[in-house]
Structure 1
Amino acid sequence: MKKILAFLLMFLLFMTSAPVSYGQPQTLSLIAKSAILIDAKTGEILYEMNSHQQLYPASTTKMLTGILAMENLEMDELVPIDAETPFTEGSRIYLLEGEQITVRDTLYGLLLESANDAAVALAKMISGSVSDFSVLMNAKAQELGALNSNFVNPNGLHDDEHLSTAYDMAMIARYAMENPIFRDYVSTYQYTVAATNMQETRYLYNTNRLLYDNINKVYVDGVLRGCKYEGVTGIKTGYTSKAGGCLVAGAKRGETELIAVVLGSTDMGRFSDSIALLDYGFANFKTVNIMKAGSPLGSVQVKRGAVRQVEVATAEESYATLPIEASEHILRTEVLLEEYLQAPVKQGQKAGTVQIYAGEELLGEFKAVALEEVEEGGLLSVFGIEDSTANIIRNLTFGIMAALILSLVLYILFKRRQIKRKKLLRQQLAEQARRKKELERARWEEQYKGGRSY
């Protein structure tokens, strides 16, 4: 990112008559041991401090538990509560053995109240045991780009082996926030759980002060201010005596959406640290939309397909991160489409890439995909003839053959009739000749008999 920003600054200096000075990225005064700030849309790292240092993530762990529950369970399913789960330590919603509570309500307990018992109940429902669920957690974390994490429980209660990094939590958070259900949960301040078969109505409140708290004040860059943050989107708090204050915080202003992670801070320091990071991000960077999802990019030839080509478009929104004062005009795109696709082609199949450049510096790549499914073509597709054209050719061929056959039949009928008429004519002529001979014979006989009477 630093290399890209340096290039952009030089480019701006060259392209503008007024001098532009960004200076070196400032060092923020943070309490946390580790921190990172990323652009949620592009994944660009905007600020980092010991971002790959392994630390205890505390209840920020529950982001991963929550997204796994949303992807593996139905919201209206009932969560089985065994005899062990109610005795989970730490923050709880006080689940009872045999209580009938839905996945939806349990997730609100997990992500708002940071309930450890809710985390255990969901983990057991998905995998059967906490240890088996931990295997699933680690596999998912690696899939999302986590590099130095090891999760041994679903709630973040202290364990010497339960470790993560600010970078890894940012990758997990970025993925989770793409899920609209997760996004809705972590931005909710208050939720009411209706009475169950064993409990009265529960009122749950989010532990993330950035959502609501203007009463408690924190110092940010020497200024005392409320915790509530403009444009906050969530997402998850964490605290244990060993981990200290942890917070994954998100905020969005216009097109720019940021995710900040702090680990190893203090109870209130996690909020001041996150505010400082988000302030720095919004003051210095912006997210630019380059292409909308579904933007047409042209067409690609299809070999052996029912059609000869398929239309191609962007698969998703394309964004770039720029310094706040940088002009969007420095950006350019290059579309690199495949020479051809082999049928059958699936809708959404990759058909090329879109590259975004600032000058000659590559900022990112995005998939170009086929807009429609293309089935394998018929016999003539080997010659590049579409099925629709092949159908026309086949119909014309059948039409010509039918016309030829009909003409042949008509010709045969005509010839047969002609032969029959000739035969009839010959018979008539023969009959006429026979009658003529008989007539001449009769005359001769008459003349002969008449001659003898003299």
Structure 2
Amino acid sequence: MTRWIVAAAIMLTCCVPASAQSSQTRPELYTHAQAAALMDVTSGRLLYSSHGDDELRIASLTKIMTAIVAIEHGDFKKPVKVSKNAFGKEGSSIYLKMGEEMTLENMLYGLMLRSGNDAATAIAEHVGGSEEGFVYLMNEEAKQIGMSHSHFANPHGLDAEGHYSSANDMAKLTAYALHNPVFRDIVKTPTKKAPNPNESWDYKWDNKNKMLRLYDGADGVKTGYTKKAFRCLVSSATRNGQQLVAVTLNDGDDWNDHGKMLDYGFEYFPLTSLMEKGEAVKGYDLVVSNTFQYPFSKGEQEGVEKKLVLRQPARDGSADINFGLRGEIQIYLGGQQIGTVPVYQKGSFLPEERARNPVQNTMSPVHPSTFAGALAEVIRELFLQHNG
């Protein structure tokens, strides 16, 4: 059996870490929020945080978790039946009737565009078997994503003891969710129509998120408000191929603050490509398998360090079946690993490039490409080609 262990750690680039002066070239960012965070979606890098780990009420921002759990565990085309418990849920509503049935897909639009608490409860009971069962899935998802300052007690966000999150955790959750194309499409939708079995007219839901109309490039995500949480907002926007997520908790001027935060991220942390798929590794008969991008502030890129880690042949001299995979490049900034990209022998099949989700597994390096994952992708492609 082929063994993957470190054979060499060769410095490709060695630079002095970026000085503190880079931060001095940026203006201070202030908001009216009790807590705030700004994150780059591609890399998962936290670009700004103020009281980011404070555990606070999050109101209907909860529904970001409700939506991604339902998307990952549910069948979009299956009908969701509205129970008495869902029908009678207080707060914001899409006015579902008791016993009414609607596909999970349409109900997710009602959940995210109009913040329906009735939809949240119906979805939870349908996907989780009960509201309690679904809340268990929410908290398990939070653990997997690495939300260490969060705990969920319900799927809708009505004030409850033991129901809280933080600005940093909500940024991490949203960055994770935005890698899902279904979630991404739902939250950027301005208006949605859905069949209404009880009336002659269809449901029509306009998105409550004013950022979609106020900010150029806005493409999500969720509003929230309760009497105890006050105004909460998660927004996202994409410009020049870079997507950012902004979070504010308890912010009376959130629309303006989010505009400032997003502008700040795009201006001072532009997404930069460090390497492109198929690019040759200087001095070696190797190429990189993925494009790698990261948001750098001015002067930071000078502190990037890359290490080429080559694999060691099997000790028993057995056949080495690796489909051209030869090792990986580990990428560091200021001594902290920010990514990993596999490298292949020139002329090898390179696995299909997929959008990485750096916050999916907090136990792994930021870039999820691994020897095992890359090898599995090659085997899958060869199998499909042989059996197609």
What's the TM-score once normalised by structure 1's chain length?
0.66
Instruction: Say whether residues 1:321 and 2:331 are aligned partners.
Output: no
Query: Shift in Å at residue 356 of structure 1?
Result: 2.2
Instruction: Say whether residues 1:356 and 2:296 are aligned partners.
Output: no
| Unaligned ranges ≥5, structure 1 | 1-5, 11-19, 213-227, 299-310, 375-454
Q: Per-residue displacement from partner, 1:285-329 (whole Å, max 9, x unpaired)?
A: 11112234576879xxxxxxxxxxxx9863x54222211x44967
Identify if the C-alpha distance between structure 1 residues 102 and 363 changes in structure 2 by more than 3 Å, giving closer, same or farther. closer
| Partners of 1:336 and 1:50 in 2: CA distance | 38
For 1:40, the equivalent position in structure 2 comes to 41
Instruction: Say whether residues 1:111 and 2:112 are aligned partners.
Output: yes
> Is the contact made by 1:96 and 1:198 (CA closer than 8 Å) also made in structure 2?
no
For 2:378, the equivalent position in structure 1 comes to 372
| Partners of 2:91 and 2:322 in 1: CA distance | 49
> Is the contact made by 1:255 and 1:288 (CA closer than 8 Å) also made in structure 2?
no
For 2:153, the equivalent position in structure 1 comes to 152
| Partners of 1:347 and 1:206 in 2: CA distance | 48
Match 2:235 to one of 249, 253, 268: 249
For 2:220, the equivalent position in structure 1 comes to 234
Identify if the C-alpha distance between structure 1 residues 21 and 340 changes in structure 2 by more than 3 Å, giving closer, same or farther. closer
Q: Which has the bigger relative contact order, CA under 8 A and spacing at least 6?
A: 2
Identify if the C-alpha distance between structure 1 residues 327 and 158 changes in structure 2 by more than 3 Å, giving closer, same or farther. closer
Residue type of the alignment partner of 1:250: S
Partner SS, residue 250 of structure 2: strand
> Is the contact made by 1:150 and 1:162 (CA closer than 8 Å) also made in structure 2?
yes
Identify if the C-alpha distance between structure 1 residues 146 and 21 changes in structure 2 by more than 3 Å, giving closer, same or farther. closer
> Is the contact made by 2:18 and 2:300 (CA closer than 8 Å) also made in structure 1?
no
Query: Shift in Å at residue 237 of structure 1?
Result: 1.0
Instruction: Say whether residues 1:265 and 2:266 are aligned partners.
Output: no
Match 1:285 to one of 251, 260, 269: 269
Q: Per-residue displacement from partner, 1:347-392 (whole Å, max 9, x unpaired)?
A: 99x9743222468775433435225329xxxxxxxxxxxxxxxxxx
Identify if the C-alpha distance between structure 1 residues 356 and 249 changes in structure 2 by more than 3 Å, giving closer, same or farther. same
What's the TM-score once normalised by structure 2's chain length?
0.76
> Is the contact made by 1:255 and 1:289 (CA closer than 8 Å) also made in structure 2?
no
| Partners of 2:228 and 2:271 in 1: CA distance | 36
> Is the contact made by 1:134 and 1:151 (CA closer than 8 Å) also made in structure 2?
yes
Q: Per-residue displacement from partner, 1:95-135 (whole Å, max 9, x unpaired)?
A: 11221211111000001011111111110001121112111
Residue type of the alignment partner of 1:95: L
Q: Per-residue displacement from partner, 1:386-428 (whole Å, max 9, x unpaired)?
A: xxxxxxxxxxxxxxxxxxxxxxxxxxxxxxxxxxxxxxxxxxx
| Partners of 1:113 and 1:96 in 2: CA distance | 16
- Counting matched residue pairs gives 328
> Is the contact made by 1:37 and 1:45 (CA closer than 8 Å) also made in structure 2?
yes
For 1:334, the equivalent position in structure 2 comes to 307
Match 2:18 to one of 5, 8, 33: 8
> Is the contact made by 2:39 and 2:172 (CA closer than 8 Å) also made in structure 1?
no
Partner SS, residue 133 of structure 2: helix
| Unaligned ranges ≥5, structure 2 | 1-15, 341-366, 381-388
Identify if the C-alpha distance between structure 1 residues 67 and 312 changes in structure 2 by more than 3 Å, giving closer, same or farther. farther
Query: Shift in Å at residue 161 of structure 1?
Result: 1.7
| Partners of 2:171 and 2:326 in 1: CA distance | 30
> Is the contact made by 2:313 and 2:320 (CA closer than 8 Å) also made in structure 1?
no
For 1:76, the equivalent position in structure 2 comes to 77
- Segment drifting more, 128-137 vs 54-63: 128-137
> Is the contact made by 1:100 and 1:197 (CA closer than 8 Å) also made in structure 2?
no
Identify if the C-alpha distance between structure 1 residues 296 and 65 changes in structure 2 by more than 3 Å, giving closer, same or farther. farther
Partner SS, residue 261 of structure 1: strand
Question: CA RMSD, aligned part only?
Answer: 3.0
> Is the contact made by 1:345 and 1:373 (CA closer than 8 Å) also made in structure 2?
no
> Is the contact made by 1:7 and 1:361 (CA closer than 8 Å) also made in structure 2?
no
Query: Shift in Å at residue 337 of structure 1?
Result: 3.3
Query: Shift in Å at residue 263 of structure 1?
Result: 0.6
| Partners of 1:194 and 1:346 in 2: CA distance | 52
Query: Shift in Å at residue 330 of structure 1?
Result: 6.6
| Partners of 2:125 and 2:257 in 1: CA distance | 35
Partner SS, residue 379 of structure 2: coil
| Partners of 1:154 and 1:351 in 2: CA distance | 46
Match 2:259 to one of 270, 275, 299: 275
Query: Shift in Å at residue 26 of structure 1?
Result: 3.8
| Partners of 1:176 and 1:332 in 2: CA distance | 30
| Partners of 1:243 and 1:55 in 2: CA distance | 8
Partner SS, residue 84 of structure 1: helix
Query: Shift in Å at residue 43 of structure 1?
Result: 1.5
Residue type of the alignment partner of 1:336: V
Residue type of the alignment partner of 2:18: L
Identify if the C-alpha distance between structure 1 residues 87 and 33 changes in structure 2 by more than 3 Å, giving closer, same or farther. same
Query: Shift in Å at residue 345 of structure 1?
Result: 7.0
Residue type of the alignment partner of 2:32: I
Query: Shift in Å at residue 178 of structure 1?
Result: 0.1
| Partners of 2:175 and 2:188 in 1: CA distance | 14
Query: Shift in Å at residue 195 of structure 1?
Result: 2.4
Query: Shift in Å at residue 80 of structure 1?
Result: 1.5
> Is the contact made by 1:109 and 1:115 (CA closer than 8 Å) also made in structure 2?
yes
| Partners of 1:65 and 1:343 in 2: CA distance | 48
Residue type of the alignment partner of 2:328: T
For 1:387, the equivalent position in structure 2 comes to none
Larger Rg: 1
| Partners of 1:169 and 1:51 in 2: CA distance | 9
> Is the contact made by 1:357 and 1:363 (CA closer than 8 Å) also made in structure 2?
yes
